[in-house]
Chains A and B, each alone.
Chain A
Amino acid sequence: MIELVNITQHYGVRPVLRGINLRVKPGELVVIVGPNGMGKTTLLGVMAGVLQPQHGVVTIDGHQRRQSVAAELAIRKKAVYLPDQAWLPTQRTAREFLLGVGQLYDIDMDRLMEHVNRLLSLFELSEQGDWVISSYSSGQKKKLALASALLTEAPVLLLDEPFSGGLDPSGLLALKRVLKRRVAEQGATVVLTSPVPELVEEIADRIVILRNGTIAAFDTLEGLRRLTECPGSLAEILERLMFPETTKKLQEYFKELPT
């Protein structure tokens, strides 16, 4: 379980996150949505331990982040964070990189090699597996970064915009299916950010909607529909939650003009 209690995060003077309280249950796929600059990546960064919040605590499976060396080590073995833009070792081949990552997470070598082959095949990188990463396109690099996160077999996955960065339709499909299966059958906990409501609708168990650094809503899609009294798509729900004034004004505007 991931628990955030009263999180406030600043980089400078302006707070990016304010008083965030959030509890993600084990075996749940949660997506953080919201417009650009509302703190999606910052919230994920706080969960991932990249950022140290000015107030509040983050707890993962009972261990508080950065509280002690032992607690942080325990969290790092369980939780993998993948930023929007990973920096890959460009002079190594994809296979070398993936094997290195697997060894870092103490995965049995036979299992690791088989898993590497399957991931390379899944993301259509089998042929390029022994090429140096510098020769990869940006979409292939994104696939490789995703493969590295999946390879760790960590029970907690924190993925920042995993569906962006030039991922092709087959990559999108593969990632969606793998994440859903990880959650449903292996009990993994996945938290990811995405700006694309259609994708979120498809995969999310619950959705966090961020607005101005606070949680505007955190519920299932059905729950959000009830909350906003909007039976439509997530995009429409977001419109109501994020820009209620604009929606109201648009409705006013579209009324028949007097003849």
Chain B
Amino acid sequence: MHLHKYEKIWLAFGIGSLILFLVIVGINAFVTGHQPPSSDKTVDPQVVGEIAPFNKPGLKKIGKNEYQLVVLTSAFSFDVGTQDKVVEIPKGAKVHIIATTKDVVHGFEIAGTNANMMLEPGHISETTQTFREEGEFTLLCNEYCGSGHHLMHAKIKVVDQS
């Protein structure tokens, strides 16, 4: 088979790029432990509000500068354990986020961070986020969930406590 010199160049370029991307994704997955946020854990969405930890949503300290944030969503709100839907997190804290939904599919995105996952009824989604920068971050639903979708949001306030 005859291949033009230029064809060899772009074939090598394409195959090389593919290998490079896969190696980087592989290193991210196996060395730095970056995984999809949906864990294998399941829960009955009908009674999830009575089951721990979702019976008490909110922020809980679990270690030195380490927290657990439990969020239970339903159309059209994020239950983050506070009336005003604001969660205060100390600057630099590592937060393990555990979330699920009572009804339909919702999105969970903390704008400006890597925390972004889909919440499916019956499944528990988990991700870990370290909040290094002070400021206010919007927690929003990025999966269309119904007529009140655009009203579905909460706030993460990262405060310097030192």
Question: Are these two chains actual partners, yes or no?
Answer: no
